[in-house]
Structure 1
Amino acid sequence: MNAARIEVLAPGAYASVQDRGRRGFRRIGVPWAGVLDPRLMRIANALVGNPETHAVIECFDGGLVLLAHGGPIRVAVAGDAVVELEVAGERRPLPPWRSTMLADGDQLRIRKLLAGGRIAVVAIEGLALPETLGSVSTYARAVLGGVDGRALAAGMQLPVVSHGEGVDRVLRHVPLTDPSPIRVVLGPQADHFSAAALHTLISADYRISTEADRMGIRLEGPALEHAGTREIVSDATVPGSIQVPGNGQPIVLLADAQTAGGYPKIATVISADLPRLAACRPGQILRFARVAAFEAEESARRAEAETRALIDAIRPLLPDGIDLDTLYSVNLVGGVVHALSPEHRPQWWPVD
């Protein structure tokens, strides 16, 4: 076992340490925080051999640069990202969705995120940070978790207990981008809106505004008309709640959002689709579709089954990147027969 560390040379647009979140404290006003896309966290951790909910680095839109000290340190990037590995000053591309070993002095660089989304996750084997209220997740507004309760910044050091053993792994089937509408369940204050507003929500186009972060996403589009008062006595919210303030422009709450609020909530984004919404870029157009609660539950079960299948299909890589399981599963040479099989002997073959 090897004591090592990762230094943040550049945090990019925004990077933070996150895990599954800080559960069980919303009743006292502590948000979950945690990764915006749990599937990425689970895949990245599986690639490096961590428990699936181990703390990871979540980043947006590229620019993150990490430096290994005292390696070897195994890392993996999950997400539709352009990744580079710098060794002895020489940069070379590194595919995402696989693990690799960083030696002392190597750099991992996420140059940019592609059209598939704006979130990537970096798993580090043996990342060792203390928990606060049962979680390592960074909630910067309350200075909780992560490194000093803050988003990552240049010069921060992340301690690692790295084994430096075993082989690297690859995800055999990359998740595909789903372009379908974002599904919602109406309520809990749908009765605070006119019938026209409910129809508009599921029929109109909405644009992701520039006011989009880990707390929530403000949408731009047709105003949603309140049927009565534009505010309510503050009550509970959850990630996925769609609040509608007085201007009628909806706000979708995400992991770092407050635990209660005074704007009526017209609907809630289902858990299976919330990561897709969180990954949308400013300027992107989306639509909503209404589903029943039982359909949302079925979608959650399907999403979990798909994630489990992806993780179960992760396979070892040879040091040069060859996936042996894939190689052996394909008939590389066809039409080969045994020369001594009577049914395949040519006419000129001598009789026994």
Structure 2
Amino acid sequence: MGIRVLKGGMMTTVQDLGRTGYQSQGFSVSGVMDVRSFKIANLLLDNPENEAVLEFTLIGPTLEFTSETIISITGGDFRPQINGKPAKMYTAIYMHRGDILTFGGARTGTRGYIAFSSYLDVPVVMGSRSTNIKCQIGGYKGRKLEDEDYIAFRAKRRYLPYYLSRSLDLDEFDQEKITLRVVMGPQEKMFTKEGRETFLNSEYTVTSEFDRMGCRLEGPFIAYKTTSDIISDGIAFGSVQVPSHGKPIILLADRQTTGGYAKIATVVSVDIPKLVQRKTEQKVRFQAVSVEEAQKLLADEMKELNDFRSQIYTPCKEVLDCRLVAKRISTLFK
């Protein structure tokens, strides 16, 4: 009872919100890159907020289902198909035993997410099911998925406790240029006034040096006063390091726990999903905001996700069998 991996894709791993509390011991947080898409995927299935999903990059996996369950697919549009027929994203989909889920090339974005109502049966390591490939812990055997892997489900959850009234129509990753809001610091004073102005008023290009650890940008030189070297200190998700070459590197989910280059700013958490769905050669600009503005943006996003829940679910008096839910869903889109 679970999923058989017929093709692993380029980089498909099990992820949740990450392994917090162990950076002081040298363990990266890991976790999903696009937290927003992750949360929506679980919301669509009424899963616990931190339930593990499959995250894939650039090339999606091919999965065979060995039992019935419900899934949701979010993130970039990889043109998913079930048994050769197009599958809808951002909605709950009932999967039968023997169904084959495949993906095409990415129409938008670079990362996709698959959530499961029956929950992936992988061990909890230090409070998380996330895969840390460098340490070879968490997820499925501490590595990315490969052909012929098999992941069982932890539960026979083939129903939803609500009527799904409609799907979400979200396609947010097709913009050629984006603006990332940042909180300046903690070492912004190590950069000249001209360097800070360059950072905030220039356009940068996403390079091919872009993985779960970080994203290197190409663009104008960001001038520092004397050196960009510092005594190593902690690194947050979204920290913008500027090494001696003067080009920004934004550190992401699998970032190192400490670093010795000055950090000019930190991308606000609600804008990180926009960054991690960028493609090579797409453009990025930066805009400074205050800590208070960043906190308000996060509060607004939390409210938005709560509003999504009320939009897509209508409470019912009894728990519905998944087949009935799927039938009702299909009638909504004829």
- Normalising to structure 1: TM-score of the pair? 0.85
Name the counterpart of 2:159: 165
The answer to whether structure 1 residue 220 and structure 2 residue 218 are counterparts is yes
Equivalent residue for 2:114, pick from 111, 115, 122: 122
- The separation in 1 between residues aligned to 2:268 and 2:219, in whole angstroms, is 21
Unaligned runs of 5+ in 2: 315-324
**Could you say which structure has the larger radius of gyration?**
1
Q: 2:82–2:99: 8 Å Cα contact kept in structure 1?
A: yes
Unaligned runs of 5+ in 1: 328-352
- The separation in 2 between residues aligned to 1:34 and 1:148, in whole angstroms, is 16
Deviations 1:271-311 (A, max 9, x none): 11111111111111111101111111111111111122123
Report the alpha carbon displacement of residue 245 of structure 1 after superposing the two structures with TM.
0.7
- The separation in 1 between residues aligned to 2:164 and 2:134, in whole angstroms, is 36
Equivalent residue for 2:147, pick from 150, 154, 159: 154
Name the counterpart of 1:20: 17
Equivalent residue for 2:51, pick from 39, 54, 69: 54
- The separation in 2 between residues aligned to 1:164 and 1:94, in whole angstroms, is 19
The answer to whether structure 1 residue 281 and structure 2 residue 305 are counterparts is no
- The separation in 2 between residues aligned to 1:42 and 1:135, in whole angstroms, is 16
Q: How does 1:202-281 map to 2 (within 5 A)?
A: 202-281=200-279
Report the alpha carbon displacement of residue 322 of structure 1 after superposing the two structures with TM.
4.2
- The separation in 2 between residues aligned to 1:210 and 1:122, in whole angstroms, is 25
Higher RCO (CA-CA < 8 Å; seq separation 6+): 2
Name the counterpart of 1:341: none
The answer to whether structure 1 residue 67 and structure 2 residue 61 are counterparts is no
Q: 1:98–1:170: 8 Å Cα contact kept in structure 2?
A: no
CA 1:14–1:168 in 2, change beyond 3 Å: closer, same or farther? farther
Name the counterpart of 1:348: none
Report the alpha carbon displacement of residue 10 of structure 1 after superposing the two structures with TM.
1.3
- The separation in 1 between residues aligned to 2:115 and 2:196, in whole angstroms, is 41
Report the alpha carbon displacement of residue 112 of structure 1 after superposing the two structures with TM.
2.9
SS at match of 1:201: helix
Deviations 1:124-174 (A, max 9, x none): 122221100000000101111001100111111111133223488475332
The answer to whether structure 1 residue 321 and structure 2 residue 313 are counterparts is no
- How many residues align? The count is 317
- Report the residue type matching 2:329 in the other structure: G
Report the alpha carbon displacement of residue 49 of structure 1 after superposing the two structures with TM.
3.4
- Report the residue type matching 2:224 in the other structure: H
Deviations 1:207-254 (A, max 9, x none): 000000110000000011111122111111111100011101110000
Deviation above 3 Å: which 4+ runs of structure 1? 165-173, 315-318, 320-324
CA 1:54–1:187 in 2, change beyond 3 Å: closer, same or farther? same
Name the counterpart of 1:330: none
The answer to whether structure 1 residue 132 and structure 2 residue 125 are counterparts is yes
Report the alpha carbon displacement of residue 63 of structure 1 after superposing the two structures with TM.
3.0
Identity %: 32
